[in-house]
Structure formats: structure tokens, C-alpha cells
């Protein structure tokens, strides 16, 4: 279904990316997709 995923994260809000990142990794593995992480400053 997905071939590439982009996950923007804000390092200033640790509580949000600590939840989002593991879910994104799992979703990428499930679909065999590439995972790209973009850090927002």
C-alpha cells in the first residue's frame, strides 16, 4: 500500500514523537516502505 512514509517530528515536543516514531516504524515495516524522518526546528 505505502512505498514511502515521511514523519515530521519536533524535537521540542518529546511526548509526541516518542509515540509517533514507533508507530511509523511499525507501519513502514508492515508495508515494506521506506521511512523518512524530518526534524522540524
What pLDDT does 20 receive?
92
What's the rounded Cα separation, in Å, for the pair 34 and 21?
Answer: 13
Which helix or strand (DSSP H or E) is residue 33 part of? none
The confidence score (pLDDT) of residue 21 equals 94
Residues 1-41 have pLDDT tens digits of: 789 999 999 989 998 889 999 999 999 999 999 999 999 77
Q: What is the pLDDT of residue 41?
A: 77
3-state SS string over the chain? Answer: CCCEEEEEEECCCHHHHHHHHHHHHHHHHHHCCEEEEEEEC
Q: What is the pLDDT of residue 16?
A: 84
pLDDT for position 28 = 97
CA torsion sign for 22, 40, 2, 34 is negative
Amino acid at each position: 500500500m505505502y512505498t514511502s512514509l515521511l514523519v515530521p517530528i519536533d524535537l521540542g515536543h518529546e511526548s509526541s514523537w516518542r509515540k509517533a516514531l514507533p508507530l511509523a516504524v511499525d507501519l513502514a515495516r508492515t508495508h515494506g516502505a521506506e521511512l523518512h524522518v524530518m526534524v522540524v526546528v
